[in-house]
Amino acid sequence: MFKKLPLPLKNFYFVTGISFLVWMVFLDSNDLISRFKLGAKLRNLNSEKEYYQEKIADVQKDREELMTDRELLEKFAREKYLMKKETEDIFIIQEED
């Protein structure tokens, strides 16, 4: 029965190596397909991390400006939160699409 097998399949090291490769590529929990998917997800998360770090830096810069400049703080409060003085009236104009 073993005499009909091709020569490489008779070699113990060849069969063991092929079995190991099949196991690592398809069957293991850390197989190559999962590694590629996780690598892509890691790259995506790193790009999101950079985006949010830039946004945090922008918000910190705006916060620092608002905390140091009283006029800018008042302008921000009036525009963003519609705050007003007691003697003022606010008119909100909305454009129709």
SS (H, E, C) 17-82: HHHHHHHHHHHCCCCHHHHHHHHHHHHHHHHHHHHHHHHHHHHHHHHHHHHHCHHHHHHHHHHHHC
Domain count, the chain: 1
44-78 per-position pLDDT tens digit: 999 999 999 999 999 999 899 888 888 888 888 88
**Does the pTM of the predicted model rise above 0.85?**
no
Higher pLDDT, 90 or 12: 12
Q: Could you tell me if residue 22 is inside a domain?
A: no
Residue 2 pLDDT: 62
Give a yes or no: residue 13 inside a domain.
no
Residue-wise pLDDT tens digits, 75-86: 888 877 777 778
Cα distance between residue 58 and residue 66, in whole Å:
12
Instruction: State which residues form the domain around 78.
Output: 44-83
Within-domain flag for 6: no
